[in-house]
């Protein structure tokens, strides 16, 4: 047989014509280094002393270059990693059988695994090392969600400074590949001692409000993300609104709410800061398949066996298992930075390499608990069949006569091997209580736990549009409970009850609210009750309302309405398709009885689409961007006549829809932005009801 190789024909995208060309050979260290050198050299020359100072990072996006399976030094690279010459077995790559089907399958396993190692080491590792030499660090989605290559997902992410996942605006379903990508990025950070977990965030959106983004972002914070990288925040050199961004959610100076973005950005910053504290807490760690691709499960039921409710988990690959994992005196599986787990869960395969089997032998001997089926053979041709004797001896020592049905547990050394029992039983047997437990009727609650040297930090998310009051049990004892609000930055003491190593905390969550439940101050007090603040209705502010619109945006200067409703139901097209800020004004007569000393007042705007800034008697009293749209107005009202002004800002979608229907002469936005159809109109404006509450 005669073999040859050629370019795949894959080109980089998207790119301006002058930057378009063939993809680099990512299996070659030499070609990868030449690529990154030529890419960064002009930037370095232009920035001078700012290179490595003001510009500190290079971001490696997700792999979208297609598949590659050969390079100049493939034979040499293979022999170095697998210990034998692959040349006699190359016909296997054309579907021929060499020796036997077993021999051929073993060679192909080795070949695929070699590709995975080379992608990680010769491309991602090579580029990161080169940039380190220039004082630059790397972010990386490596390899990302495309699954175009035979990757070891966690090994690729090992070789960047800040591993990244990716999530799209509105995508929250855990069966989708963005879930496995984000959990993989978080796991890579945890097992390789990296504190920051980034994500390409809010991809595939459009012109969205901060509240819409919060609904998506909170879920992914609870999956381990602690740094947001917007897709997309692009420089806007022109003032032609709405500006231009590629295929992501628009975050730039030309969006309607750019000047009102501060509270939302503070919210993201507070969440990120809190979720960077200490170490992630998980009880289970799942070993990924050693072959290639070695990636987190996506399709079907996902993890098997599934982690039980109330326990969290990480993934680990063979590299981190072999080079970083040990066992503590109390039988925990520990990493060098302190990350630890109770149980190692083996992949659902009957193949295991001898190095991994040896490692499991040493871990169990030292006290680890390992669960999974008995391996039947090694994969690959390396040292085959010479390793068979040692392999069989180690398997028998660990699994003995276990069959996963009638015989499921075996003690070996200081540890235990279990086959066929659910993780919930194993953890219960070890005396490990659920980390978080609540009434199962409380649906769509997401959570995450981190532990610092002096605090346990739980992030709790209500993913529903209804208020939830939940008594949550936390695996914590001896510390007071506090509620930290990432929207306002407020820290408040919470009610709690400490019992048998658990803390029971009543948690009140508004619709789509997220909070941190923090345990940090040691206490001997076993129970504390904080009175719940009750609000009573003082009045509902009815019409008429005067609405003033921004000039030049297609709407009339001013209108008067009796009832609050979405702009989109207004028959006037300039209002129906309006995007921007409109000011609602109203005067109210405040009786003296409302202003009694010692009581406070709350202004509740009801439903707002999308952001509201409230002024009372020309004084700003709050910028509101998420439900419930409430602000404390204590001390701002006076007896008698008061002026209330509410400046409401929506986003660009409605104006884009209007311009799409208008002829060229009647379009409001003059930007050459490509307008994507099919999204319809979004409710906009102050929808109310507007009420004043007494607290």
**pLDDT by residue (tens digit) across 298-316?**
765 578 899 999 999 999 9
Cβ 44 vs Cβ 51: under 8 Å: yes
Q: Name the 3-class secondary structure at 292.
A: coil
Q: Where are the alpha helices (DSSP H) in 366-450?
A: 388-399, 423-429
Listed by start position, the domains of the chain span 18-68+117-278, 280-429, 436-528, 536-694
Specify burial of residue 412 (Cβ count, 10 A radius: 0-12, 13-18, 19+): middle
Classify 320 as helix, strand or coil.
helix
Mean per-residue pLDDT over the chain, rounded: 94
| Fold (CATH) for 436-528 | Immunoglobulin-like (2.60.40)
User: Quick check: helix, strand or coil at residue 567?
Assistant: helix
pLDDT, position 660: 87
The residue-averaged pLDDT of 507-527 equals 97
3-state SS record for 470-529: EEEEECCCCEEEEEECCCCCCEEECCEEEECCEEEEEEEECCCCEEEEEEEEECCCCEEC
Q: pLDDT, tens digit, for every residue of 534-580?
A: 899 999 999 999 999 999 999 999 999 999 999 999 999 999 999 99
SS (H, E, C) 270-287: HHHHHCCCCEECCCEEEE
Arch. (CATH architecture) of 18-68+117-278? Alpha-Beta Barrel (3.20)
User: Given pLDDT bands bounded at 50, 70 and 90, which one contains residue 175?
Assistant: very low
Transcribe 636-686 into DSSP letters. Answer: T--SEEEEEEEEEE--THHHHHHHHHS-GGG-S----PPPP-S------EE
pLDDT score of 678 more than 70: no
How many whole angstroms separate alpha carbon 369 and alpha carbon 433? 16
pLDDT at 677 > cutoff 80: no
Q: Indicate the fold that domain 536-694 takes in CATH.
A: Jelly Rolls (2.60.120)
203: closest CA among 244, 164, 171? 171
């Amino acid at each position: 047989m005669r073999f040859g190789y050629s370019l795949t024909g894959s080109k980089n995208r998207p790119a301006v014509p002058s930057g378009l060309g063939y993809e680099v050979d990512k299996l070659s260290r030499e070609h990868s280094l030449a690529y990154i050198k030529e890419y960064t050299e002009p930037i370095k020359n232009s920035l001078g002393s700012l290179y490595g100072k003001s510009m500190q990072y290079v971001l490696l996006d997700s792999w979208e270059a297609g598949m590659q399976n050969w390079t100049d030094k493939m034979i040499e690279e293979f022999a170095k990693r697998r210990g034998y010459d692959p040349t006699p077995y190359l016909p296997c790559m054309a579907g021929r059988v060499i020796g036997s089907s077993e021999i051929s399958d073993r060679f192909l396993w080795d070949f695929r695994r070699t590709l995975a190692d080379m992608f990680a080491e010769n491309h991602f590792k090579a580029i990161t090392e080169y940039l380190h030499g220039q004082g630059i660090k790397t972010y990386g989605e490596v390899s990302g969600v495309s699954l175009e290559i035979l990757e070891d997902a966690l090994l690729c992410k090992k070789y960047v400074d800040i591993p990244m996942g990716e999530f799209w605006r509105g995508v929250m379903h855990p069966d989708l590949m963005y879930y496995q990508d984000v959990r993989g990025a978080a796991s890579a950070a945890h097992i390789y001692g990296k504190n920051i977990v980034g994500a390409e965030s809010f991809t595939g959106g459009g012109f969205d409000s901060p509240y819409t983004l919060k609904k998506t972002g909170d879920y992914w914070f609870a999956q381990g993300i602690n740094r947001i990288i917007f897709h997309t925040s692009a420089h806007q050199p022109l003032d032609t609104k709405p500006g231009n961004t590629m295929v992501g959610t628009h975050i730039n100076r030309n969006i309607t709410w750019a000047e009102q973005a501060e509270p939302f950005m503070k919210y993201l910053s507070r969440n990120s800061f809190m979720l960077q504290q200490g170490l992630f807490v998980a009880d289970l760690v799942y070993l990924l398949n050693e072959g290639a691709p070695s990636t987190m499960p996506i399709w079907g039921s996902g993890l098997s066996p599934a982690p039980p409710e109330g326990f969290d988990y990480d993934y680990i690959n063979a590299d981190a298992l072999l080079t970083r994992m040990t066992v503590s005196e109390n039988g925990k599986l520990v990493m060098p930075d302190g990350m630890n787990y109770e149980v190692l869960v083996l992949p659902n395969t009957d193949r295991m390499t001898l190095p991994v089997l040896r490692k499991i032998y040493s871990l169990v001997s030292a006290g680890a608990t390992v669960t999974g089926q008995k391996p039947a053979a090694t994969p690959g041709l390396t040292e085959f069949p010479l390793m068979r004797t040692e392999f069989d001896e180690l398997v028998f020592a660990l699994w003995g006569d276990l069959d996963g049905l009638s015989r499921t547990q075996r003690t070996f050394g200081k540890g235990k091997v279990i086959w066929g029992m659910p993780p919930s039983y194993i953890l219960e047997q070890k005396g490990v209580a659920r980390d978080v437990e609540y009434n199962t009727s409380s649906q769509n609650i997401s959570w995450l736990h981190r532990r610092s040297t002096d605090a346990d930090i739980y992030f709790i998310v209500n993913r529903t549009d209804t208020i939830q009051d939940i008594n949550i049990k936390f695996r914590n004892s001896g510390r007071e409970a506090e509620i930290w609000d990432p929207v306002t930055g407020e820290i408040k003491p919470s009610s709690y009850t400490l019992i048998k190593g658990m803390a029971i905390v009543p948690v009140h969550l508004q619709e789509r609210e997220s909070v941190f439940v923090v345990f940090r101050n040691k206490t001997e007090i076993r129970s504390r009750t904080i009175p719940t603040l009750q609000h009573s209705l003082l009045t509902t502010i009815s019409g008429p309302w005067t609405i003033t619109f921004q000039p030049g945006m297609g709407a009339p200067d001013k209108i008067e309405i009796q009832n609050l409703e979405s702009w989109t139901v207004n028959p006037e097209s300039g209002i129906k398709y309006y995007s921007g800020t409109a000011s609602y004004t109203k005067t109210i007569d405040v009786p003296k009885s409302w202003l009694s000393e010692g009581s406070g007042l709350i202004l509740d705007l009801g439903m707002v689409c999308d952001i509201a800034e409230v002024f009372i008697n020309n004084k700003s009293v709050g910028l509101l961007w998420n439900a419930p749209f409430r602000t404390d107005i204590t001390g701002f009202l006076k007896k008698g006549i008061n002026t209330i002004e509410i400046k409401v800002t929506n986003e660009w979608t409605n104006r884009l829809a209007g311009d799409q229907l208008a002829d060229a002469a009647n379009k409001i936005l003059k930007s050459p932005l490509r307008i994507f159809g099919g999204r319809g109109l979004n409710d906009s404006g102050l929808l109310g009801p507007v009420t004043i509450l007494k607290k």
